[in-house]
Chain A
Amino acid sequence: MTDLNGPGHKTERRWLPKGRTGPMAAALGVALAAVLFASAVSSQSDGALSGGTLSGDADLFGPVANVLEHPRCMNCHPRSDVPLQTDQRRIHQMNIQRGPADLGAPGAPCAACHGSANREFAGVPGAPHWQLAPLSMGWQGLNRTELCRALTDPALNGGRDLAALVEHMSADPLVLWGWAPGVDLTPVPVPHSDFVDQLTAWAEAGGPCPD
């Protein structure tokens, strides 16, 4: 089975720019997305560049949301300072909290227990840069419209355009951990490659958000 934790797994999509950092790439990504979006909206009534509500394509986000709402993703995307854990989404034990840099409170960093790989012998999951998603990427409790908008807003999502979002969720090792969480945790039930297909389809449609 492919090691989804390692750096080796990437989904290559011809039309996406390589890499996801840098203003030039971002600009290119935005330009491409705009082109894609424009072609997608030509038959629609809503002209907002960053997405918008398109009832016909709204269900493209559904499969994406299914994954994002899975505990493996959602547990570490709180809108508070408190991570969740396990499939039961309980509050992380031992009063573990966000801390000043999303890396845990002073004295109780995430890295005290969570390493860069799962530790099966210990029952402790791990992946590179294990931490909470920043508050701007807090998704718990959002409905799908709100989730989609938060996801696609560059002011909230770390300055990512749709292409960069796809790249991130295709390649980032912490994201990929969700598919190989080890330690008796349920992996995201959709195969990662299927998810990337669904994500790409949604992105190619301009990242439409449901009503």
Chain B
Amino acid sequence: MALLDNEPTAASGVSRRTFLAGTAASGLVIAVALPVGLPRQARAQQVGTATTPNAFVRIAPDNTVTVLIKHLDKGQGIATGLASLVAEELDADPAAIRTEFAPANAALYGNAYFGGFQGTGQSTSMRDSFDKMRTAGAAARAMLVSAAALRWGVPAEEVSVHLGVVSHTGSGQSADFGDLALAAAALPIPEDVLLKAPGDWTIIGKAFPRVDSAAKSDGTAIFGLDARTPDTIVAVLKRPDRFGAVVGSFDAARAKEVPGVIDVISIGLGVAVLARDTWAAIKGREVLDVTWDGSQAETRGSDQMMADLKALADAPGLIAAQNGDVEVAFGDAAQILEADYELPYLAHAPMEPLNVIVDWQGDRCRITGGCQAQSSDQLTAAAILELPPENVEIVTTWAGGSFGRRATPGSNLVAEAVLIAKATNAARPIQLMWTREDDIKGGFYRPMFYHRLRASLAPDGLVKGWRHTLAGQSINIGTPIEGFLVKDGVDAMSVEGAADMPYAFANRLTEVHNAPTAVPALWWRSVGHTHTAFAIESFVDELAQAAGADPLDYRRGLLANHPRHLGVLNLAAEKAGWGTPMPNGQGRGIAVHESFGTWVANVIEVDLSQRDLRVLRVVCAADCGTVVNPDNVVAQFEGGIGFGLGAALQNKIVLEEGRVQQANFDDYLPLRMSQMPKVEVHLIDSAEPPGGVGEPPVPCVAPAIANAIVAAGGKRVRKLPFIDEVLF
């Protein structure tokens, strides 16, 4: 359905029990804000609830323009992006722009890509905001112009706006935004606004400094973990060491003796230690004894789980995509090539471990933290506390990374915290905090996946048949959002990048097996593409090798009808000097992949001459349509490439008898400074609508490295991470 078609749906209303369904509501007219200098309650009713007088833009008498950011900024720079869209159309002074995270209100701030729920993910924030925020800025500008025209008795067409100042050249009059804000507030919101033509942009596509750089460089930016007040209780939850186990019994005697520990309570899925401060909570949990009921727990180890995935793949799977007849194609093949690829569980491991503050006061509840799925969090808290959703306020803070982790289909973090609040009835705010060990061991991983690829070749070496069998757990089956993402048993997030791959073969079958487990899985930055791109772009290289063809030429042949794929492929190859000689022991690998509305190609150079794997250089070409903030897009590609690189090189979550073996950054190794290669990012100049930017940088990294290793004289690696494999 909608979420993965990369197409927005109509905005939906949200009600407590029917948050999965929706009613069409108008979108932009309601959301377009009313710029007011002072609160105007009558106007406030018009646009929404009394607590949100302005939806997107607020102009203060001192000229400050506050842009309300409806998405979580977890480092991807969306606060800056949205602010720049408003600044452009408003003709504001960029120095006067501030940002604030919007409250939870799906009617105003819903994401059309999420069926109208408010949330951030799937690299949709800019795509959802590009028109909305420009319209909000343009509408505000129009109202300021009208207010000035009225005040000066001049035609509106003669009034201009520049850097926060409104003026009429003919009469020499001018006023700044703050002067006009109140008057503008009294005017009706325009039905239609004219947006600037791209040729007139002075901000979009050009430079706009990050709104958060200063605060993140001087320690003043407030993240969720920072938001506690002196009276906030800190809670840590002791969870079972096997997924699916629940609390059997516990002995809190020693924990309660730790200075600062206030209480110890069970919420079924774990036992919470509540304390006056963080250190007490951590120390208290260290001496808490819990006996677990593991009767429903996953007890297999990773080796067994992978073996089980391989066994599943022997049988026909659920069809994700097909054309022609693969049985025939394989029946009379001159040659069959087969390869299988294995990818481990991966942890998101954001630098700021999960945390949330729940302040439950009778019929109201305030939730504070780096919330990524506001609607889901709001509804989950409301359901548990039996409150109307509108009585659950969400205060969104900056978030120290996420990579997908801060949104789960069941709003599990908020649920845990609210259950604790409900059980303790403390009438004080409670901050539930995950330690790093909780984070590494706590599940919600990129699932383990097995891919079997087979190609049947005609005598001339051309591929006649392509059969791609995937086996791995579904992220969404069994969750509240299954209906949006799973069709005929196929989870779109399992097969994205494979079901919709650009390579067209006359006979083709892409099938998937779902492998249920109690280990929770989640949408790790670029989700299904993280494993489908590895398998496909590795296998295409293997096909090229079998055909004796250059991997770039081979792909060009297959992508002849895909200009945007070709565009990035050729640009990356050109900038990387593809085909020019490399020193002994070094090699280049190439990969191309589209995800979330953006086309990316990587050429990666590796060096095996020291008998280890060194990644020297990543040349990246990207087509993300209209680029709003080029520097931020480059930054996202630098960072996303690093993110993909670290995982491909050295990350895996391993289970033994159902227990996660890794615990902290000494055994789940993050990429470090000295491992970062040179990264060159080249953006294709495009007037197409914006594509996503947060996730697309990731998928091409692992396959391009695998391909480079072969080019450098090493072995074909089909199993990640590279650090575990023999390359020579």
Contacts and interface: CB of A to CB of B under 8 A. Distances in A.
**A and B in direct contact, judged by CB atoms within 8 A:** yes
A26 B675 CA distance: 48
Interface in A54-75: none
Q: Which of B283, B666, B672 has the most CB of A within 10 A?
A: B666
Contact of A93 (B283, B666, B674): B666
Nearest to B286: A121
Contacts of A121: 283
A119 B674 CA distance: 28
A94 interface: yes
Contacts of A42: none
A95 interface: yes
Nearest to A86: B666
A94 B673 CA distance: 10
Contacts of A93: 666
A125 to B, nearest CB: 14
B670 to A, nearest CB: 10
A121 B674 CA distance: 29
Interface in A87-122: 93-95, 121
Nearest to A121: B283
A95 B672 CA distance: 9
A153 to B, nearest CB: 34
B308 to A, nearest CB: 31
A131 B498 CA distance: 53
B515 to A, nearest CB: 34
B400 to A, nearest CB: 20
Interface in B278-306: 283
A63 B672 CA distance: 41
A93 B664 CA distance: 13
A93 B674 CA distance: 12
A110 to B, nearest CB: 17
A121 B258 CA distance: 14
A121 B672 CA distance: 25
A94 B283 CA distance: 27
Nearest to B674: A95
B675 to A, nearest CB: 9
B723 to A, nearest CB: 13
Nearest to A93: B666
Nearest to B665: A93
A95 B666 CA distance: 12
Interface string B667-696: 000001010000000000000000000000
Contacts of B672: 94-95
A97 to B, nearest CB: 11
A94 B674 CA distance: 10
Contacts of B666: 93
Nearest to B667: A93
Contacts of B674: 95
Nearest to B669: A93
A155 to B, nearest CB: 34
A93 B668 CA distance: 12
Nearest to B279: A121
B282 to A, nearest CB: 9
Contacts of B283: 121
Nearest to B666: A93
B166 to A, nearest CB: 51
A95 B670 CA distance: 13
A88 B133 CA distance: 57
The 4 closest A-B pairs by CB, nearest first: A95-B674, A93-B666, A95-B672, A94-B672
Interface of A: 93-95, 121
Interface of B: 283, 666, 672, 674
5 contacts: A93-B666, A94-B672, A95-B672, A95-B674, A121-B283
